[in-house]
Amino acid sequence: MVKIDPIYAQELRSSGVTLAAVYLGSIPVQESMSVMVSEMRSQVVGECIQIVAAKVGLTPERDVNPIVARIIGEVKQENFNVDLNISSKMVKVIRSSRLIQRHPLSFFSFGSQGQRGTDTENMFGYIAKNKNGEDRRCHVMSSKAVQKLLDTLVAAIQVNTEDAKAKEMAENPQAASTSGTSGPSSTDPLRPPKFTCTEYVALGRITLVYENVKNQPWYHGHISRDIAQSLIRQPGDFLVRCSDHTTGKFVLSGMTEHGDHKHLILLDEKNQVRTPEKTFPTITELVRSHMENGQPVRSDGPQNQTALMLENAIPRG
């Protein structure tokens, strides 16, 4: 955790730091960030930034990740200049001296910069509920000082967390000394919910998994297990799809040499593409390697281990 200058920390506790930005718009997000893996949260914010930017004419329109499309609503287009006031208690969006949005850090979920090296590099999105704990949205801004905005938000979250810990120790020293490293309670209005500082703001770290597979002929997107099995008719047939049970996961569907349909999750608990034998940089590399080497993709565990040969990629229709 970075040490924050005491004078700067006090400014964040009191009036906050105000930065100029353009408020581009917002999108309702219908699923809680707490049920998603970190890469999926980054993907959701990244897609929202791209969608809003396209809506206001700043970037070309493009296909939306089908997983994300299921959990977001219609864009509310804005595109006007604002002052963004960031303190250790909340983020305020101010237009022409009038407060138009107020998001306590206790109702903050996640934030991320746009993708570096693209038209969205100077954009930033964050998911938050309003002051009443309702209307979860991804709010999208652009700013020439986007890095300073990110740094300020991270600092505000850090001060918020440190103040919450200090308050807990002052009020209940014995409980604080036995609480170990458990995260802050989501019921305390001073505390951000469930995420560490490094998870809270992903500095341009948008997941590459979907971008890597979306144009591959064997990637079928969001189809059900039953549909996948209807397409796979003999051992060696295979396809990759989005999991219909776990948001943000990808599944290899195939048939064993005994004629049984099997479905293997390709991302581990750290969201790395891996088999029991090896970790791969991408799903495409995993598929290429196993097709070229003629080695089956195996499941974890010595008991009833599944082995799928990748011989005939089933193209999407």
| pTM for the predicted model, two decimal places | 0.59
Question: Do 201 and 271 sit in the same domain of this protein?
Answer: no
How does pLDDT run across 251-300, given as a tens digit for each residue? 999 999 999 999 998 877 666 788 888 888 889 999 999 999 999 999 87
Q: What pLDDT, on a 0 to 100 scale, did the predictor assign at position 244?
A: 65
Distance of alpha carbon 208 from alpha carbon 123, whole angstroms: 18
Q: Which residue has the higher pLDDT, 180 or 137?
A: 137
Average pLDDT over residues 136-164: 89
* Domain-embedded: residue 48: yes
- CA-to-CA dists, residue 164 to 133, 172, 251, 304, angstroms: 19, 12, 41, 49
What pLDDT is attached to residue 47?
92
In whole angstroms, give the CA distance from residue 157 to residue 65. Answer: 29
> Is 1 inside any structural domain?
no
Dihedrals φ, ψ of 176, to 5°? -65, -35
Residues spanned by the domain of 92:
6-207
Arithmetic mean of pLDDT, 306-316 = 94
Binned at pLDDT 50, 70 and 90, residue 199 comes out as very low
**Where among 177, 207, 237 does a domain terminate?**
207
Confidence of residue 2 (pLDDT cuts 50, 70, 90): low
**Confidence grade of residue 196 (pLDDT, cut at 50, 70, 90):** very low
Clarify whether residues 67 and 200 are in a common domain.
yes
From 159, 186, 207, the end of a domain falls on: 207
CATH number for position 257: 3.30.505.10
Please give the pLDDT value at position 271: 64
Number of structural domains (the chain) is 2
Q: Which residues contact 85 (CB under 8 A, 6 or more apart)?
A: 15, 16, 17, 18, 91, 92, 93, 94
pLDDT at residue 38 is higher than 80: no
52 and 142 belong to one structural domain: yes
Other beta carbons within 10 angstroms of residue 87's beta carbon come to 21
Decide which of 93 and 215 is more confident: 93
| Boundary-marking domain end, from 162, 179, 207 | 207
Q: Do residues 172 and 62 both lie within one domain?
A: yes
- What are the pLDDT digits (tens) for 155-186? 888 888 888 888 878 877 765 444 443 333 33
For 86-111, how does the pLDDT look when each residue is reduced to its tens digit (9 = 90+)?
A: 999 999 999 999 999 999 988 888 88
- 241 and 297 part of one domain: yes
Is 99 within the bounds of a domain?
Answer: yes
Q: Are residues 126 and 184 in the same domain?
A: yes
Residue 101 forms part of a structural domain: yes
Residues 154 and 218 in one domain: no
For residues 227 and 182, state if they share a domain.
Answer: no
In this structure, are 168 and 221 located in the same domain? no
More confident residue, 156 or 52: 52
Which residues on neighbouring strands pair with residue 258, listed in sequence order? none
CATH number at residue 58: 2.30.29.30
Residues 164 and 291 in one domain: no
Q: What is the mean pLDDT of residues 57-73?
A: 90
> What is the DSSP track for 33-85?
GGGS-HHHHHHHHHHHHHHHHHHTTSS---PPPHHHHTTB---EEEEEEEEEE
When pLDDT is averaged across residues 43-60 and rounded to a whole number, the result is 93
Q: Is residue 98 located within the same domain as residue 177?
A: yes
One domain for residues 253 and 301: yes
Residues 6+ apart with CB under 8 A from 228: 220, 239, 241, 251, 253, 261, 263
- What's the CA gap between 171 and 173, in Å, rounded? 6
CB 41 within 8 A of CB 197: no
